Copies of this chain bind each other. A is one copy, B any other.
Amino acid sequence: MSSVKVLGINSSPRKYGNSYKLLRIALRAAEEEGAGVEVLHLYDYEIRPCKGCVSDRATKCKYPCIIDDDMKYLYDKVLSADALIISTPIYWFDVSGQLKNFIDRLTALENMILFDGRSWLEGKVAGVIVCGNDGGAVHVASTLLATLNDMGIHIPPWAMVYYVGKDDVLKVKDKLLDAANLGKIIVKAVKLLKGIKTWYDPSMLTRVESYWVREVLREIETTPKVPKSK
């Protein structure tokens, strides 16, 4: 049994488009690197919109989510994976609405920090694949990466693979190579980081407040207030 599990998430309604093709190449490389891989097609599942319970009271949002739909199944898939590769088409300079609902609903895992001391996504590794005919690829990819990172996820080098154009991406050499590397790099990173599930340490606050704040203030007092004129 392979020790590293990579979950591929296809957020396009089409199972034969460029987003899916690059995802497949990435997963193939992950397999070569020794991982077990699986693909989920988000459009095969019913994912209802998040009700924003967290805005009423932070502790109202927790796993399991109160909404009764296919996220039950998808949460388990995410939790048991070491790494995620999310692939999405570009819909109006952003992810598909279906993927956005999926992301919003992941809050129930991230918010476990309030109950369990850590985000249940912390320490995983992720990358993204974004394809579209028109512009917006980097806009989508950077938002996704920032979101995943802010849920506690590690983003390894070159984690953003994007293709803007109308050609069959299986014929675009540099994008194939980027996707293959994404799969490989993600598995490599999982192996190196493995075992460390907790990164954020709330106990640091005491020494920050007791000592470091004072040190910074002392240093600043000795610094001239006006920027050097040039």
A1-9, A73-81, A98-106: which one contacts chain B?
A98-106
* A176 in contact with B52 (CB, 8 Å): no
User: Which residues in B have their C-beta under 8 angstroms from that of A91?
Assistant: 50, 52, 100, 103-104, 107
**A164 interface residue per 8 A CB criterion:** yes
* B12 in contact with A52 (CB, 8 Å): yes
Q: How many copies does the complex hold?
A: 4
Per the bound structure, the CA–CA distance linking A100 and B44 in Å amounts to 18
Per the bound structure, the CA–CA distance linking A78 and B230 in Å amounts to 24
**A156 interface residue per 8 A CB criterion:** yes
Q: Mark A201-230, 1 if CB is under 8 A from B, else 0.
A: 110110111001101110110011101101
User: Which residues in B have their C-beta under 8 angstroms from that of A137?
Assistant: 135
Chain A interface, number of residues (Cβ within 8 angstroms): 102
User: Which residues in B have their C-beta under 8 angstroms from that of A185?
Assistant: 199-200
Query: Quick one: given A97-B97, A201-B181, A204-B29, are A216 and B51 in contact (CB under 8 Å)?
Result: no
What would 30 A/B residue contacts be, using CB atoms closer than 8 Å? A12-B52, A13-B49, A13-B52, A14-B52, A24-B219, A28-B215, A91-B100, A93-B138, A93-B142, A93-B143, A94-B143, A94-B147, A95-B100, A97-B102, A97-B103, A138-B139, A139-B139, A139-B143, A145-B146, A145-B149, A146-B160, A149-B155, A149-B159, A154-B189, A155-B159, A158-B200, A164-B164, A170-B213, A176-B208, A192-B196
Of all A-B residue pairs in the complex, the 5 with the closest CB atoms, nearest first, are A97-B101, A142-B146, A97-B100, A155-B155, A135-B138
